[in-house]
Structure 1
Amino acid sequence: MTIERQKLDHSLLNIHHLGDKDLRKSAKRISKIDDSIRQLARDMLQTMYNSNGIGLASTQIGIHKQLIVINCEPETSTNTPLILINPKINYYSQESCVMEEGCLSIPGVYLDVTRPEMIQVSFKDEYGKPCQIEASDLLARVIQHEIDHLNGVMFVDRVKNDLDLTTKLQEQGFNRESVKSLK
């Protein structure tokens, strides 16, 4: 799917922020992949690009369907974005790594999160074709982050350094009570 990577005066879709109850709801499987799903994916990609993001889950815009869009290199025009419908992680590597994460739903907050280094994920593409990929490094992290959103989990729930978490959230005006720690 190609999408114009241009800055709009405003995002097409409204991204919900930490504290919004919609972010804690689980998404439902998509049973019918049609033009409305493809249009939603296009709108999500444009919103993601407009917000300088590399991933966006439908739950972040208040739509509780299992749909995520990803482009780890949005500035590279030849890089095709990933559209994952009903994604499911089938394998996690034993090796994990720590990397700083941020989120369009928690602007200005960047914190270290530990995640498996490599995953295998199955999904359907925007035409309903079953796909499976092996992902590592940044792509694996972004897929895990976005699938967490589909399950009502946010990256701050996985942060182990409580003092750093509380400080960064307060600096950006977010409420610490909105975090549901998974420690």
Structure 2
Amino acid sequence: MALLPILQWPDAGLSTACALVAPQEDLGTLIADMFQTMYAAPGRGLAAPQVGVLKRLFVMDATWKDGPGTPLVMINPEILTFGAELATGDEGCLSIPGVMAAVLRPSTVTLRWQDEARCWQTGKFDGFAARCIQHEYDHLDGLVTFDRLVPEARVEAEETYRRHLERPA
């Protein structure tokens, strides 16, 4: 396993819609490396385009910082339904370090995806897991947190990010 470099905004790969993962593609090493990278960052989700792989794949573990982990691999995910209730929550992104932004999203989401064994799964998620899934799914469509903000909030978040990058290491 290896730590992968995480692309930072405004890298063009973060604004590119990803291709489906082909049935014969071997993802074992990539998935292991993505989990290792996510935990080391430390994050709760990591999408393939964030490490320069423009494929519809993300890994997540929405609970590991609060107790036992629940790692999930989501290959070729499809959002089937969004819940009607909306909630605003703070979101950070490993590709936009130093920025927490209030993002409005549905509180629940039903998803269909392939697991690491390429078996199709369907599940309904709520709370932080639903937010994490939607955030990582956005990456697969070439969207970042900034793209979910109203113009005024985006300007403020981009300024916070610029200031973060200017800080001495």
TM-score of the superposed pair, with normalisation by structure 2: 0.89
Aligned residues: 163
How far apart are residue 76 of structure 1 and its match?
Answer: 6.0
Shift of residue 137, structure 1, vs aligned partner: 0.8
| C-alpha RMSD of the superposition | 1.8
Q: Percent identity?
A: 34
Instruction: State the match for 1:181 in structure 2.
Output: none
CA contact (8 A) 1:33 1:128 kept: no
**Residue in 1 that maps onto 2:16:** 25
The separation in 1 between residues aligned to 2:65 and 2:106, in whole angstroms, is: 26
- What stretches of structure 1 of length at least 5 have no aligned partner? 4-10, 175-183
Pick from 51, 56, 59: which aligns with 2:46?
56
CA contact (8 A) 1:70 1:83 kept: yes
Inter-partner Cα distance in structure 1 for 2:73 and 2:127? 18
Aligned to 1:180: none
Does residue 88 (structure 1) correspond to residue 87 (structure 2)? The answer is no
Query: What is residue 177 of structure 1 aligned with on the other side?
Result: none
Q: What's the secondary structure of 2:64's corresponding residue? A: coil
Q: After TM superposition, where is structure 1 displaced by more than 6 Å over at least 4 residues in a row? A: none
Q: 1:77 to 1:114 in 2, by over 3 A?
A: closer
Structure 2 Cα separation of the partners of residues 115 and 77 of structure 1: 25
SS in 1 for 2:95: coil
1:165 paired residue among 138, 154, 158? 154
Amino acid at match of 2:8: H
The TM-score normalised by the length of structure 1 is 0.83
Superposed counterparts of 1:72-111, under 5 Å = 72-75=62-65, 78-111=68-101
**Conservation of the 8 A alpha-carbon contact between 1:33 and 1:126:** no
